[in-house]
Amino acid sequence: MNYESLLIAIENKIALVTINRPTKLNALNKATLAELHSAFSDLETNDAVQAIILTGSGEKAFVAGADIAEFADFSAAEGTQLAAEGHQKVFDHIENLKKPVIAAINGFALGGGLELAMACHFRVSSDNAKMSLPEVTLGLIPGYGGTQRLPQLVGKGRAMEMILTAAMITAEEAMQYGLVNHVVPQNELIAFCQGLAQKIIQNAPIALSEAIQAVNASFDNTKNGYEAEINAFGRLFGTADFKEGTTAFLEKRKANFSGK
């Protein structure tokens, strides 16, 4: 499928999704959010894809926030709907995707851009990246999961400071906080993420999916994370991948997983 705001390349079972609005610093508008929902839905069911890297085009920005011009005149009801639809169709959707998603933060990740990165399963940053949640400077709060995911990643105190001051942090600070896992030179960012993705996809696809869901369950107040882990662990004993993984281990050979 062709997208106006996204570029998608698939190679060696890894999909690279690039938000491609460089003149707008890849800001998220309604059309781009709709395309992200469609693209991730397609990639999740595409057997040729086992892991996804999400990044922004150009050298300046991953995503420099939401497109403010689109919602500047919204009513309270329209604002509520904007946040609810964003959560459901994009941010929660990516967080709960059955395939691993790595955010490759190549520059500014502000507001909705940082929230998009936080919805991914983990984050790698270029050394020139800057991150912030500046919504309070607009008379708003983060509306795409920022008040929930940031405390999970960096702790309540750090999150409160970042949100209430709207301060921008560097890539190194983001790594110290635990917001990103790695910081690398910008020209090495995608290759580094591809290397991580290659390591991931050597493992059993069903186990990866179950691991994502079990970890997410620990942050869901409606679920018992330990119970989710126990049930997922048990289910995996009934898969062909478990049989292959254990057989390969005992035979001292590399496993050839089928994803079944």
Active-site residue numbers? 115, 135
Structure tokens at 40: 């991730």
Whether 54 contacts 5, CB under 8 Å: no
Distance CA 255, CA 100 (A): 20
CA end-to-end distance (rounded Å), the chain: 27
Residue with tokens 């894809």: 49
Whether 102 contacts 121, CB under 8 Å: yes
Q: 190 CB contacts (<8 Å, ≥6 apart)?
A: 16, 53, 55, 104
